[in-house]
Amino acid sequence: MSQIFKLDAADLDTAGVLDFIQNREESHLYWSDDWSPSFYSRLAYEGLISTTYPREDGSFVLLPEMQRAYAVLDWENLHISRQVSRLLSRVERGEFTLGLNRNFEAVLENIRTWHDPCWMTSAYGGILRVLNRSDNPYACRVLSVELFNDKGELIAGELGYRIGRIYTSLSGFTDRERGPAGCGTLQMVLLAGYLENEGYSFWNLGHPHMEYKERFGARNLTREDFLKRWKTGRDLSF
């Protein structure tokens, strides 16, 4: 088992550290007690996706990961199931609506309720809240994605972030009491359409080798291949 090294903001500007993180295949997990939005943004800019991990005393540390592989959706690979196709016809009739940044707090709360346990702690939510509302040096902007029914009720959603022309998913939820079967996938399909229309290069879905992502059309890229595309797309503007 590889050692899990601690990371601080200064480490990312130290010669050789980024090369170690990006190219040492044995290592993929790191930890930090720096909860600043600026540090989180820098990690995201370099391609690390951060979650959290509990300590024995009940506190949490930030857990950045330079994954060994990534699930990536290119728009031409999007697969729409028959179930979602039927739901799309109801979107055209106004029964479902996709929203963006309409209710960040509700999406965050639903994610934390839906996942038990949930790695999206209050401190982590505080980082996302700041990055949803303000700019930062690495242009990491957190997005809240919502799917509403025709009563205006929130039935599915997710949180993720945009850097350059790349969108990265973090976590989501589905309200199975208010929403029909497949509404979580419907939200993803509608989001894919939005991202493509807005000119995003691709969608980073994070951890690979997950059945629902592969059914959705995502391909699994090695770290090396992912980082080549990431480093191009992260600095593109709209």
Domains of the chain: which residue ranges?
Answer: 5-67, 70-233
Q: What is the pLDDT of residue 26?
A: 86
Q: What is the pLDDT of residue 2?
A: 65
Which option is the CATH number for 70-233: 1.10.3720.10, 3.40.630.70, 3.40.640.10, 3.20.20.120?
3.40.630.70
How far is 54 from 1, CA to CA, in rounded Å? 19
Q: What is the pLDDT of residue 191?
A: 98
Q: Which of 193, 185, 190 is nearest to 84 (CA)?
A: 185
Find out whether 166 and 200 touch, Cβ atoms under 8 Å: yes
Could you list the pLDDT tens digit for every one of the 238 residues in the chain?
468 999 999 999 999 999 999 999 888 999 999 999 999 999 999 999 999 999 999 899 999 999 999 999 999 999 999 999 999 999 999 999 999 999 999 999 999 999 989 999 999 999 999 999 988 889 999 999 999 999 999 999 999 999 999 999 999 999 989 999 999 999 999 999 999 999 999 999 999 999 999 999 999 999 999 999 999 999 999 8
How far is 172 from 146, CA to CA, in rounded Å? 10
Helix (H, G, I), strand (E, B) or coil at 35: coil
